[in-house]
Structure 1
Amino acid sequence: METQRTSYRLVLVPCPFQGHITPILQLGAILHSEDFYITVPHTNFNFPLNYPDFDFLEISDGLCEQNISSHNFIAAILGFNV
């Protein structure tokens, strides 16, 4: 008798700051190896390219490029509180 294994979909949502995308993708790779389907929402500025087994969902962060520069960190934080 053959048993059917159920696969689940996980949505991993990283914080949109430097250094948060890589650990989320590494966690996703581990979970994907355990038969989970992985979806990662991302902004225009944080688009990973080399994860063909993941589904990526582009979302708007409401920020323009000048607000996310390292010189304007406070404006970027305030932009999240829309």
Structure 2
Amino acid sequence: MRLTNICFAAVLLGATGAANAQTSAPAVAAAPSGKVVKDPNRMICRTLDTTGSRLKPVRDCRTAKAWADAQELDRRDIDRIQANRYKNE
């Protein structure tokens, strides 16, 4: 499998997870300065479909911070793969 196929699959999986995101009611608090601050400990549940599978979608519940950390890791992996793309060809 070529590296471009892997990159495409990684981007597609990330987009699928984001498109199927279902969030609970947002937990927000008002900061003294009047800005709205979202609670990083609120639970967010997302339904994740597996591309090419007929099995039941999986429901994944994590905190907002955990989702943000996972998204950041995915972004770093894709950036690393794209930076090394031409070195391996």
Fold match (TM-score > 0.5):
no
Q: Greater relative contact order (Cα 8 A, min sep 6): structure 1 or 2? A: 2
Give TM-score, length-normalised by structure 2: 0.23
Q: Which has the higher helix share?
A: 2
Q: Which has the higher strand share?
A: 2
